[in-house]
Structure 1
């Protein structure tokens, strides 16, 4: 535990809602599994390309407004997509969010199309328009 985000991960948080950035940073210090931020704020062109490629199913992604991030587990310096790693990372995100009073949604909790690497601010608490 006690991981620190890389400069690359920090750059990928540019344009992301400050409350989510704070949760990501604290989660890194709490997580038993190291992780990197793979994506934060996306352009509509990028989101459209992901939908075309089948990597996303919506053009209403929370990434478009900076309300979502995706992460990748890192084990021995290598990206890993093994499902059991992601609930462990999610527990750290949820703990950080609770400590900060931030309502967070984890894609791994979705009933369909579970998305373990995805975290977003709750739409009800953090609507599209930034405050």
Structure 2
């Protein structure tokens, strides 16, 4: 005897589709409302850091030291950045001269919370360079990638691994916190 597969009647299927569309629409409305009407917090009312987080500062020093041990001179070009400095950087390539270097406005960067650094290399002739193929220590490996490897070993996330906007000089430690959480006052512990 052959069993027939029971298929939902067309009316029931249509009701399910309409219900899912309504549910999706409500979700989208709530999302958009919270985004535009609630928006980001007023960062002036939030206690913001004024320097690099102690754990990040310690790892930064270790990065410089470990790189020096293998003949690579690392230069930290940025660490903590104020909201105003971030806004000025964001304007580059938009309303100010220069190329776009960031997609993060003030309060949207881990630099603003003392959790990120940017680096470059110092060549053997004393020039600060961002050449990712440079091999100043002569070991047939790109110094840049050697620094990235050391940084990752210390717990940094590298901006060159990002899928959208690649930020090759950028290293950050987010301690599992999103920008949204940091904007609302959540901070990593002082010791890790």
Structure 1 length as normaliser, TM-score?
A: 0.75
Contact in 1 for aligned 2:175/2:188 (Cα 8 Å): no
> 1:61 is matched with which residue?
109
- 1:15 alignment counterpart: 51
Structure 1 CA distance for aligned equivalents of residues 73 and 150 of structure 2: 11
Aligned partners of 1:78 and 1:113: how far apart in 2?
26
Separation of aligned partners in 1, 2:164 and 2:110: 17
Higher relative contact order by CA 8 Å / sep ≥ 6: 1 or 2? 1
Q: Report runs of 4+ in structure 1 exceeding 2 Å deviation.
A: 125-128
How big is the alpha-carbon RMSD for the aligned residues of Structure 1 and Structure 2?
A: 2.0
Deviations 1:102-124 (A, max 9, x none): x4211111122221211101351
Which has the greater radius of gyration? 2
Deviation at 1:40, TM superposition (A): 0.9
1:116 to 168, 171, 174: 168
Q: In the alignment, what sits opposite 2:9?
A: none
Q: How many pairs does the alignment contain?
A: 112
Partner of residue 150, structure 2: 92
- Residue from 22, 28, 34 that aligns with 2:64: 28
Change in CA separation of 1:68 and 1:78 when aligned onto 2, cut-off 3 Å: same
| Runs (5+) with no aligned partner, structure 1 | 1-13, 98-102
Unaligned runs of 5+ in 2: 1-49, 93-99, 134-142
Contact 2:110 2:174 in 1 (8 A): no
Of residues 65, 79, 85, the one that matches 1:46 is: 85
The 8 Å contact of residues 42 and 64 in structure 1, kept in 2 or not, is answered as: yes
Aligned match for 2:132, one of 83, 86, 109: 83
Using structure 2 for the length normalisation, give the TM-score. Answer: 0.53
